[in-house]
Amino acid sequence: MEKIMYFVHILGALSVGFYLLLPFVMGKMSTLSLAAKEGSAVAIRSFNIFAQIGLLIQFITGGYLMSKGSYSVGWMIIVIVLIVALFAICGMMTKPLKAVVANIKLNKDVSAEISKMRMMSSLIAVCLLVMVIFMVYPGII
């Protein structure tokens, strides 16, 4: 059973990998035309939903694998805090994504929402990179 969970955990990690590319996508979004911004926001929203499902898979399979392994309490606390932070920031990013699409349809300025999304995507990428470091080197703490 552990091998199956490990395989599913790796598949979930692949889906969450989108968040590592998101800051670069968001950096280019402000230079696009309105129609391209709307299309990008719709695509990012779809990928965000897909990655959130992958994050849920990570949480479930990671909890199972954590219960079967021997990890330090500090490591477990840090990893749980990081995954909860990822859930929170990814969830908070949906509001500006929806606002970008709605404001473009109303011909309003979307630069404030794009800057919020850029900041949140950078936070997500940093949290995810730190989590990957802790996954690769579980004995770090």
What residue numbers bound the domain in which 68 lies? 2-140
Are the C-beta atoms of 16 and 51 separated by less than 8 Å? Answer: yes
Q: Quick one: tokens of 99?
A: 């606002």
CA distance 120 to 139: 29
Locus of tokens 């897909």: 50
User: How many other CB atoms sit within 10 Å of the CB of residue 81?
Assistant: 12
CA-to-CA separations, 101 to 29, 45, 60, in angstroms, rounded? 13, 10, 32
This prediction has a pTM of 0.89
CA distance 89 to 124: 7
Predicted confidence pLDDT, tens digits, the chain (141 residues): 889 999 999 998 999 988 999 999 998 988 888 889 889 999 999 999 999 999 999 999 999 999 998 899 999 999 999 999 999 999 999 999 999 989 988 989 888 999 999 999 999 999 999 999 999 998 888
Domains of the chain: total: 1
Q: Render pLDDT for 21-58 as a digit per residue (tens, 0 to 9).
A: 999 999 898 888 888 988 999 999 999 999 999 999 99
The closest of 75, 69, 81 to 141, measured between CA atoms, is 75
* Furthest-apart CA atoms within the chain: distance in Å: 55
Q: Give the side-chain half-sphere CA count within 13 A for 128.
A: 28
